[in-house]
A and B are shown apart, each in its own frame.
Chain A
């Protein structure tokens, strides 16, 4: 059961973040941080299909995390995100067409090893 909740969390987090990244790129760079402008940006984002999909996935991921936290410790639940890093970086390259340079791969690899070490 623990592993099923974990799989749901990893899958929904990955899908959610990639969709969110795609949606935010379509929306464009947020430059105005005054409250009125943030309100207008939120209204526009509420109609952005990628963002809606992303937020829905993140909501599933959030409730899966709550369920997981009620079953295990934070020190078990949090490190799993290292797994999502790998999946998301690969999807960022192939789906979002980001140019993941050698430098970024190296940085991501160091971070993944580090996160694993910190949370073991």
Chain B
């Protein structure tokens, strides 16, 4: 084992970890912002948008993230319309394409998580709100969504971890995230064990930190559902 090269390149690893965290934060923020309205549409029995939203989440959840990334990064470039459009500077950048693909992917999973939490709202909560004279929009905003958000925390925590692991695909489109740095160090020094184990250890540390964060969130916001001590 030769960890000298790793020690020299440690700043590179930290920069890679920062890139990974940035990718994760952008994807999660974009995905969550789009997922909440989609989940509301998805959980309304009479809405016209129900079927298209279902199709979107079904297609995204049924295909690999790698295919989605390639479809956006390599696929869109096939069309002259795209290459000549004002969006081309963004759509030709691996950074933007990776963020977009990750955001769309996590959006589909988050939509299902939030829609499931909305469906599991106790009937009494909604009936009580209606009885108090709240409109449908008010019920959604003041009662259903806050209560669903709490119930979604455990599954959303899992989704965040899976997305963290998904961001490792950014290295495939040349980005120097944590995995990208490890691949770079391996190809320069030919030390596969040291290079990838270091990256793996950093991913593990980030994962454990996120798990701790979500446990704290559960204790804070789901305390009323915990078994009585």
Q: Do A and B bind each other?
A: no
